[in-house]
Amino acid sequence: MSVLIVILILVIVLVIPNIKIVPQASSYVVERLGSFFQVWSNGLHFKLPFVDRVANIVTLKEIVKDFAPQPVITKDNVTMQIDTVVYFQITDPKLYTYGVESPINAIENLTATTLRNIIGDLELDQTLTSRDLINSKMRAILDEATDPWGIKVNRVEVKNILPPRDIQDAMEKQMRAERERREKILQAEGEKKSSILIAEGEKQSAILRAEADRESQIIVAQGEAEAIIKTKEAEAKGIELLKNAKADKSVLTLKGFEALSEVANGNATKIIVPSELQNIATIGTTISEMFKDEKGK
């Protein structure tokens, strides 16, 4: 009975603590007698008591590190603060464990020195407008430098760029002046377009008025012409009716006197008398002279 108890105690003390379950997205670096033995992936594993030990537990997930702002100097001697965010992933747990002491600290220092080298070749304006260039250069340099450490740098982002306060004030004044200049340009362009539209409107209005006057005059002239035509047609029909009715000479003479009277009452300064009317006028004059002679006697 005591032997079973001893065996049970040994199992509890020696066997159970040496059973390891490695979770997903993790790796265990195992040493045997102080030397690297193997890397355990996810699953159930057993290590020998007093012989094997887990040297490091490594996560295979992507790691995001936001490093503190670093002072850098641009090519035109402007000191600014820049902080970066590095996205990396451990691809080789063995190299990560034995490649470098304090890998995260190493990456931070490497990021700071790389950033200073890149910014040192750029002027202030280029630094503020070249974030994509800075990010791509830093990613390429860091990825190559950390490859012996079993680390893959996926992305590097410049989070903040903080120039000195006087530089910020000057930039704000410059931006304000630029906005005011654009506002004045837009206002002038708006006034120009407005003037053009007003002038075009007045031009179209004048053209429409002229066309309306012309059409009105044409309509009036057409009306007068139609009235004259209608009058002449009526006169022609009247004469035609007289001819068809076989009116005698006295009726025609009377109509001639009526026409002569209408013409005389008009504004014309010249009167053209037909030959028949001239003969009648001669007869009237002769009769008047005869009456005068008789009265003289």
Asked: is 62-163 a CATH 3.30.479.30 domain? The reply is yes
How distant, in Å, are the alpha carbons of 9, 11, 89, 150, 195 from that of 3?
10, 12, 51, 49, 111
CA–CA gap between residue 144 and residue 137 (Å, rounded): 11
Read off φ and ψ for residue 194, nearest 5 degrees: -65, -45
pLDDT tens track of the chain, all 297 residues? 677 777 777 777 777 888 899 999 999 999 999 899 999 999 999 988 889 999 999 999 999 999 888 899 888 888 889 989 999 999 999 999 998 888 999 999 999 999 999 998 888 888 888 889 999 999 999 999 999 999 999 999 998 888 888 777 777 787 888 888 888 898 888 888 888 888 888 888 888 888 888 888 888 888 888 888 888 777 777 777 766 665 555 555 555 555 555 545 555 444 454 555 455 445 444 444 544 454 454
- CA nearest to 57, candidates 89, 94, 28: 28
The candidate with the shortest Cα–Cα distance to 257, out of 273, 243, 233, is: 273
